[in-house]
Amino acid sequence: MLRTTAKPLSLIACIALACFVGQKPSTTHAEPAAPTRSHNATASKPIAPLSERFASADTKEVPDFQKHVTPLLGRLGCNGRACHGSFQGRGGFQLSLFGYDFKADHEALMAENAGRVDTSDVDESLILAKPVDADMHEGGKRFDTGSWQHHTLRRWIESGAKFDPKQVQTLQRLEVIPSELQFSKPGEQVQLKAYAYWPDGSVEDVTELCRFSSNDDAIAAIDEDGHIESGEKGDTHVVVYYDNAVVPVPVIRPIGPTLERSAASPAKPIDKLVQQKLDKLGIVPAGPCTDSEFIRRVSLDMTGMLPAGETVRQFIADPSPDKREQLVEDLLDSPAYAAWWATRMSDWTGNSNEQLNNVLPVRNVASRLWHEWLRVRLEDNVPYDQIVAGIVEANSRQEGESYREFCEQMTEACVSGNEEVFAKRDGMPLFWARRNFQRPEERAIGFAYAFLGVRIECAQCHKHPFDQWSKDDFEQFSQLFTPIRINQNQVSPEAKAVRDELLKDITDGKKLNNGELRKAVYTAAQKGKVVPFGELLVNTRGASDKAKRARALAKKKGQKVPELKLPTGTILGQDKAVTLDKDPRPALMQWLRDDDNPYFAKAIVNRVWANYFGTGIVDPSDDMNLANPPSNAPLLDYLASEFIAHDFDLKWLHREIANSETYARSAETNDTNIHDRVNFSRHIPRRLPAEVVYDAVILATGSDDKASQLRGEVSDMAIAEGVAQNRNQKNFALEVFGQSTRESNCDCDRSDSPSLLQSIYLRNDADIHKRLSDKNSWVAQACEALGVPGPSQRVDPKQAAVTRTADNFRKQIISRIIKFNSLPKERQKKTRDQMEREYQRMAKKFEQFDLEIPSLDALIENPKSWREVEPTKAASHAASNTVSKLVEDAYLRTLSRFPDDEEREIAETFINESETPANGMESLMWALVNTKEFIITH
């Protein structure tokens, strides 16, 4: 049960862990565990906790403000949201939330005439007097006079209440023991111990200064002292906080008997890592899904497209052992793959037509250009890091391109249908141009969502409550984006003359106001005239007055230009220094690509995984913080590291996931996996995304020709942003089913939740009924196959129609015989064999009517001897056979499976007893589209 760690455990730690991990924990509180040995530790043993060192008032030790006082105030709740850590503070006294700002907190405590800390009269200090008196202190009694907490604060005050900002240390790591817990029954208890490792080599027991929380109290409840008590079966994490450290500790209470190893060891790494977790939990996974389930599932997940009914029929009948792997390859090579994933990446990168309004001189094209730029790269399988580099490091002009050439090509690209012109350009600067992406803070938040999978907005005001991000981290990260400038009217100095010339040509030299000028430019572009475009510029002179002052001060003192710190908590080396006197984006991109980057590869891997399973390994998939750990950390580590090793190959990632046994599991449940939603022991049905539902309705209800056309071209489909391209004009169906609003880059902009409006749309919307009865609908196609009037012809000539169909076949055969008889005798001899084959083919079609057919020789001798077909009982039999096949087709094109015997009988009976066959088939298709099975994965 022990997890492999980077540093070896000491003998004492191994013994301690053996007591807690893999064994039945004691029902009483466990003895304290010893920490692992640090490589640079100089102390012979860990420093004892404050409760021992400050048990007496006469201790000589002086507490450290960073290591002891601030964490103690946090443990007591003083700097929490409900107390002095709130934005307004309490009682005129405000501390930084969770104690991230030592300097500001020290100044607040030492404020003159406030009386909070009084070094001349220690016991009158309010931080000592108030917390021991419930009547005096609004927050209630926090500790007793004479307690170790009281002694710690008092000793710090009487020693001068000192704090030197220059001596703030960076915590190397916080070790929590046990590092993983497994319980066997409810009510078992374990005491966590936490050890802080500092740069000076000291190791201190800081358990009493930590804050603790549980991600699921029902499975593992934890109190303020770090005592864990087991509850229900399942797995979760408890989280330990100290200084800037956030450490999650996995807790498991097996659902079934744990296994040393699975009976059948999986061959693929994904399956092995998933199985290892399931073995710990005692969960028996579901078996493999059927072929019909697999083709439907992987087609919808990988391409956003419902598979064609005939494709499903052939796949099910195919006996090849590798047909699933081949299907995955075919889907990855299909146009729908690139189109659908360009839409998903447009969600994540913030491709909002509303926010791009007025960014280009031609309206309502920016979003299409953005999508096409992504689509082409996904189709060509450009490595993910190169795609991102093309966004992050984007410039408006190609290398060596003049401003006029730039405007000429962009004008051409903005013509509808010419999006590929823009897609051929190296960069996609539209990412930086959104109206809600202009301030550095907005860019920092959006960039973190898009490429890091991190929600950092709370760090804008205070330390991130569940991660290491501090307010200072956020501010420095935001400054990286300050030099970037882009808007419609901005060009480089050398391009101004050309821009003015283009505008003069458009306006005929007239001076127009802003609105008139925009209209004139727009009109000119529509007519094919070259119009001026804005450029992305980088202000290398410095992006803010604050930055300029900092550089000036540094220069005056003979210091280096201040370097910006990236959010991993480390300042880049001299060869990678990020300063604002040059474009910071290449260094930012290099940081993203770095093997040690904790976010970049994991963020996209996690998002792709979530697309296939409905939940991420980290969930939500854009909230990768330390207190929201992955449900299977080794699995996420494997996928991320291999993704990097495969040069950020997205198709490798899709292939690796889709070909796993884990992905191909059925949705069947057993006693152990019925409640599992995070460990991937079974397929969890989920509602299809908005665009996929919308297109599925069109493909299911449309004729074979119409569906084939859409599958081949894709561009008119919702998965390719071919529907409601102008998101200011919402498509009702897409809006109802939760299409991403793209108001931000947050995954929460998309909704997969069911609603009453969705049911109403599928049941009663005029759009649905129109698709069912359209002349290009499947119902019309089916009626043609039956030889009956289509849905728009409300008559009931059922028997006559079947007879007419048979007679049409008769006429085709006679017509061919007459043509044959008209040939010269020598030509007839040469083509006799061909005629025989053709006759047999046509005669075979006629067999469905159970009618006698004359021999070929008899027909050649006298074609008119075969008279019109008369209605017989055989006609009903022929119609029944055709209806049976059409019912099959209806199920295959909607649910990707054959109907069972009961479903087949009900459908056939209903069609045969309907007022007209058209009514019956229309109702059948309506019913199938309205099943839960149609709009969920299975």
- At residue 34, the pLDDT reads 60
Q: Using CA atoms, how far apart are residues 904 and 733, in angstroms rounded to an integer? A: 31
Q: Using CA atoms, how far apart are residues 611 and 92, in angstroms rounded to an integer? A: 49
* Number of Cβ within a 10 Å radius of residue 389: 20
Find, among 834, 839, 846, 782, the residue nearest to 808 by Cα: 846
In a domain, 278, yes or no: no
The dihedral of CA 39, 45, 48, 49: what is its sign?
Answer: positive
In a domain, 316, yes or no: no
The pairing of strands 245-253 and 181-182 is parallel
In a domain, 632, yes or no: no
SS3 state of residue 212: strand
Q: Which of 118, 148, 167 is the last residue of a domain?
A: 167
- At residue 218, the pLDDT reads 95
In a domain, 100, yes or no: yes
The dihedral of CA 342, 345, 349, 352: what is its sign?
Answer: positive
- At residue 554, the pLDDT reads 61
- At residue 12, the pLDDT reads 29
In a domain, 554, yes or no: yes
Domain identity same for 521 and 374: yes
User: Looking at the predicted structure, is the pLDDT value of residue 250 above 70?
Assistant: yes
> What are the CB-based long-range contacts (under 8 Å, 24+) for 665-668?
665/285, 665/286, 665/287, 665/288, 665/289, 666/286, 666/287, 666/288, 666/289, 666/290, 666/293, 667/286, 667/289, 667/938, 668/286, 668/287
pLDDT digits (tens, 9 = 90+) for 2-49: 233 333 333 223 323 233 333 333 333 444 456 654 434 444 589 999
Do the beta carbons of residue 755 and residue 736 sit within 8 Å? Answer: yes
- 213-217, 567-571, 771-775, range with the lowest pLDDT: 567-571
Q: Which residue has the higher pLDDT, 341 or 445?
A: 341
pLDDT digits (tens, 9 = 90+) for 775-784: 889 999 988 8
Domain identity same for 524 and 404: yes
- Grade residue 519 by pLDDT with cuts at 50, 70 and 90: confident
- 167-176, 234-243, 467-476, 879-888, range with the lowest pLDDT: 467-476
Q: Find the mean pLDDT for residues 60-85.
A: 81
Domain identity same for 361 and 223: no
Q: Using CA atoms, how far apart are residues 702 and 781, in angstroms rounded to an integer? A: 9
In a domain, 368, yes or no: yes
For tokens 């926090």, the residue is 142
- 164-168, 433-437, 569-573, 818-822, range with the lowest pLDDT: 569-573
Q: Which of 228, 253, 278 is the last residue of a domain?
A: 253
Q: Using CA atoms, how far apart are residues 21 and 33, in angstroms rounded to an integer? A: 12
User: Looking at the predicted structure, is the pLDDT value of residue 574 above 80?
Assistant: no
pLDDT digits (tens, 9 = 90+) for 463-484: 555 556 667 777 778 888 888 8
* Number of Cβ within a 10 Å radius of residue 462: 22
Domain identity same for 72 and 210: no
In percent, how much of the chain has pLDDT > 70?
82
- Grade residue 917 by pLDDT with cuts at 50, 70 and 90: confident
- 381-395, 443-457, 527-541, 554-568, range with the lowest pLDDT: 554-568
Maximum average pLDDT range among 72-81, 436-445, 919-928: 919-928
Domain identity same for 417 and 498: yes
Q: What order do you get walking across the sheet with 181-182 strand by strand?
A: 181-182, 245-253, 234-242, 211-214
In a domain, 615, yes or no: no
**104: domain range?**
50-167
Do the beta carbons of residue 428 and residue 391 sit within 8 Å? Answer: yes
Q: Residue 282 corresponds to which amino acid? A: G
pLDDT digits (tens, 9 = 90+) for 325-360: 999 999 999 999 999 999 999 999 999 888 888 788
- At residue 727, the pLDDT reads 42
- What lies within 8 Å, CB to CB, of 770 at 6+ separation is none
Consecutive H or E run containing 292: helix 291-303
pLDDT digits (tens, 9 = 90+) for 539-551: 876 445 665 566 6
Q: Which residue has the higher pLDDT, 822 or 88?
A: 822
CATH classification at residue 176: 2.60.40.1080
pLDDT digits (tens, 9 = 90+) for 875-886: 444 455 688 899
Find, among 397, 501, 485, 436, the residue nearest to 743 by Cα: 436
Q: Find the mean pLDDT for residues 489-499.
A: 89
* Structural domain total, the chain: 5
In percent, how much of the chain has pLDDT > 90?
45
The pTM of the full predicted model, rounded to 2 decimals, is 0.81
Domain identity same for 466 and 384: no
pLDDT digits (tens, 9 = 90+) for 581-620: 788 899 889 889 988 888 899 999 999 999 999 999 999 8
Tokens of 484: 């970037």
At residue 823, φ and ψ (nearest 5 deg) are -75, 155
In a domain, 299, yes or no: no
First to last CA, the chain: 34
Domain identity same for 178 and 224: yes
For tokens 């009269």, the residue is 121
Tokens of 859: 């027909």
- At residue 862, the pLDDT reads 84
Domain identity same for 152 and 140: yes
- What lies within 8 Å, CB to CB, of 720 at 6+ separation is 336, 339, 340, 342, 343, 371, 375, 714
Domain identity same for 504 and 395: yes
DSSP secondary structure letters along 311-331? HHHHHHH---TTHHHHHHHHH
pLDDT digits (tens, 9 = 90+) for 802-828: 666 677 777 878 888 888 888 888 888
Domain identity same for 410 and 498: yes
Find, among 594, 652, 660, the residue nearest to 632 by Cα: 660
Find, among 206, 280, 274, 214, the residue nearest to 243 by Cα: 206
Q: Using CA atoms, how far apart are residues 831 and 843, in angstroms rounded to an integer? A: 18
- Grade residue 748 by pLDDT with cuts at 50, 70 and 90: confident
Do the beta carbons of residue 377 and residue 390 sit within 8 Å? Answer: yes
Q: Using CA atoms, how far apart are residues 891 and 778, in angstroms rounded to an integer? A: 12
pLDDT digits (tens, 9 = 90+) for 103-159: 888 887 888 877 788 888 888 888 888 787 756 766 678 888 889 999 999 999 999
**CA 656, 661, 662 angle in degrees (round to 5)?**
85
Domain identity same for 486 and 551: yes
Q: Which of 115, 140, 167 is the last residue of a domain?
A: 167
Domain identity same for 385 and 478: no
Calculate the average pLDDT of the chain: 83
